[in-house]
Chain A
Amino acid sequence: MFGYRVPAPNEALLISGRKQRGADALQYKIVTGHGVFVIPIFSRASTLTLAMQEAEVVEDCFTQQGLTLAVQAVIAFKVGDDHESIAAAARRFQGDQSQMATLVGRIFSGHLRSIIGSMTVEAIIREQQTLGEAILDASKMEMGRIGLAVDSLQISSIDDKGANYIKALAAPHQAKVNQDANVAQAAADQASAMARQESNRFQAEYARQTAVAQAEYQAEIDQAQQRAAQAGPLAAAKALQAVLAERALVAEKNAELREAELIAEVVKPAQAEAERITTLARAQADATKLSAGAAAAEGRIALDQLVIQQLPDLLRASAEGLQGANLTVLNGADGLNGVVASLASQGLAVLESVRRGLDREAAGPDERPSTSTDVTPTR
């Protein structure tokens, strides 16, 4: 208002049109942080932003090892706060400040190639100080000349375009980590298996103890049940035993009674009958014996006569039996006499035996009743 201009905190006011005093003085006046009169028509005021701006750069770069990397970087920059920087930047960008970021990005593409080219992949990833120095050498000095201060340069991503270099960098560590993880997993599995097996062992042990205890209790129960089950039959058997004993007594009494009855009814009469028969038989036997004796005495005389009549025939038959035999007795006169004497004695013996046989035939039928009467009942 009325030619008084106040720049914003992030702006520089450039006033041109008035001659500046001093030999090395700028041809225009730079005002920051406070207001100033701008005389209309004679002077002209324009602003230059001092705010931070950013430019994004995506560039294929070669590392120190010759590896191709696709690098994406973000650079944050601003116009320097000192008058020298403002003046340098104003000369370059005052006309079209909106193009500042684009221009800086293009400039910075070359710087990025230079930065990456001076480093290895490992240094880019790990060494922040080396990266900062590389940025300083490659970029900040040149940017300073055009009045720009680089506040920050961040590499947001790098890609080795399928070369797997970065992956390979991680491989040893990855393998180590995997190995540790596998070892830890195996140890955990081992501990788990041990615990599980131990648990199974304990479970089996407990089951065994339970089974043993159950079997013991079952055995006791069975024993008691058997005892209980046999108590009934046992009592019944004992009762039956008592009954049988009583029955035995009854039977014994019955037997005694029967015996007494039999004795009274059968034995005594039988004994009496037997005694009667014996007596009768004895009397008959005696009679028979007497009659037989008489008959034998008569029969023996007749038999002797018959035998004597047949004796010469018997001797002849004996002699004929010896006639066939070609026997020679060498015993002298005595021997011959012995043969004759023996023949005579044999004839006598034959005679005796024949007579005895006849005698037995004659006495046979009469002797039988006498033998039967010898049998007497014992009761």
Chain B
Amino acid sequence: MKKDVEAITAATITSKSLAKIIKTAGDAAIAYMDQKVMMASMEVEKPNGETSIVAPPTASTGFPIGSSEGKSKEKIPPQAGGK
């Protein structure tokens, strides 16, 4: 019984730890992509103060602004022996 509890606790800790690593990486990646989009938008503005049309971020950086529109339906092929 004690061994079972230990094993389940260990598996829970593993699961939570891996999920936390994935979430941290995901959050940082999104923040980075957003930063790139903002920087690219500022670079497009002309230095002499002339009015200019800021190009959409997707055109200059490839990083879309916070939405999931147009989400690719492409599926990543599963690992060998996986799904």
Whether both chains belong to one complex is answered with no
Q: Which residues of B contact A (CB under 8 A)?
A: none
